[in-house]
Amino acid sequence: MSLLRNLLIKSLPQIRCIHATKALTTFYEKDAKSGYKDSRASPSKTNLIRDGLKELKQEVALWTEEVKDHFDADPVLIYRPGETDIAWRFDQETVNKWIVTSDSDNNEGFSKCKFDLTEHGKGHFHGNLSTRIPKDGRVQRAGYCNIKSLRARKSFKRESYYDWVNYNMLVLKVRGDGRSYIINIATKGYYDIMWNDVYNYILFTRGGPYWQIARIPFSKFFLSSKGRIQDKQYPLPLNRVTSFGFSVGDKIDGPFSLEIDYVGLEFDPNHTEEFAYEMYKTDKFVAGT
C-alpha cells in the first residue's frame, strides 16, 4: 500500500505549498503608550459625566475663541528679528498641566523627579537620578526623568498641532547645574510607526548662579524613536509639533536641577540652514563607508 502511495505521489505534478508564519510585530504598536499602563484607577462613568459637565463651559468658551479667530483671519505675517514669542512661561496652572515621568513610575528603576515652581515663580525640574537596575531579569538599563507638555488640542478635546512654521529658532532661558539635558520635540503621526517620533537636541547647562539664554536652530534637531537615533534623518516638521519637553539621562547618579524661565520661538533671517545633517544615498544592498 505504501509503495502504491509513493508511486501516485511521484506521478502527480509538483504543487508549491505556502507556509504561513506568524506576523512580525517589530513595528506594530498596540497603543500609543507602547504597552505601558496608566497606574491611576479608571474613573467611573458617573465621575466622567460629572467632570465632563464641569469642563463644558470652558470648552464652549474655547470653541467661541476659535470661531472668532477664524472669521477675523488676521494671522501674524511679520516676525521681527530679535523678538522672541513666548510659547511657555511657567506659573502654577501651566506647571500642573505638564506630565512628569521617571523610570520608577513603571517599576524600571529608582529615579525620582518633580516639576514645580521656585520661590521666584520659575519652573523647576529637579529630582534624583539613579542608574541602579532592578533585579527582575527584565530591565537592562535605568536612569531617566522626563517632563513634557500636554498635546496641543482644540476645543472639545480635539487633537491638534503647534504650528511653528514661521520660526527657525528655539530660545530658552534656563539655569542649570552643569549637567546635560535633552530637549524633546514630539511630532506624533497618525500611524503607529510614527507614534514615537521625537526630535532631540542636547542642552548643555553652565551651572552656577547665572541664567543663560540658549538659542538653538530647529535645523540642528535630529530624529529618534524610543530613544534610538534613526538611520534616515529628516528635518523637523514645524507644522506637526504635538508636545515639547526635557529629559535627563546622562548616566550620572545624584541630584539634578534645571530652572526654566520661559520657552520661546524666534525668526532669525541670518540663519538660512535648512538641515544640519548630510544624508548620503547609496544603492540598495550596498553599504556606505
- For residue range 261-280, list pLDDT tens digits in order: 999 999 999 999 989 987 66
**83 CB-contact burial (10 Å; exposed 0-12 / middle 13-18 / buried 19+):** exposed
pLDDT at 80: 75
Tell me how far apart the alpha carbons of residues 214 and 220 are, in angstroms, rounded to a whole number.
13
Q: What is the set of domains in the chain, with CATH numbers?
A: 81-266 (2.60.120.430)
Q: Which residue has the cell 548643555?
A: 204
pLDDT at 170: 96
**Which H or E run includes 64?**
helix 45-72
If DSSP codes are grouped into helix, strand and coil, which group holds residue 35?
coil
Residue 164 confidence (pLDDT)? 92
Digitized pLDDT (tens) for each residue of the chain, 289 residues in all? 555 555 444 554 444 444 444 444 555 667 666 666 665 556 677 776 777 777 777 777 777 877 776 666 555 555 677 789 999 998 888 898 899 999 999 889 999 999 999 999 999 999 999 999 998 888 888 999 999 999 888 777 778 889 899 899 999 999 999 999 999 999 987 777 778 899 999 999 998 889 999 999 999 999 998 888 888 888 999 999 999 999 999 999 999 999 999 999 999 999 999 899 876 676 777 655 4
Amino acid present at 59? E
pLDDT digits (tens, 9 = 90+) for 40-56: 556 677 776 777 777 77
Amino acid at 162: Y
C-alpha cell at 234: 529628516
> Taking the model in full, what pTM does it have?
0.79
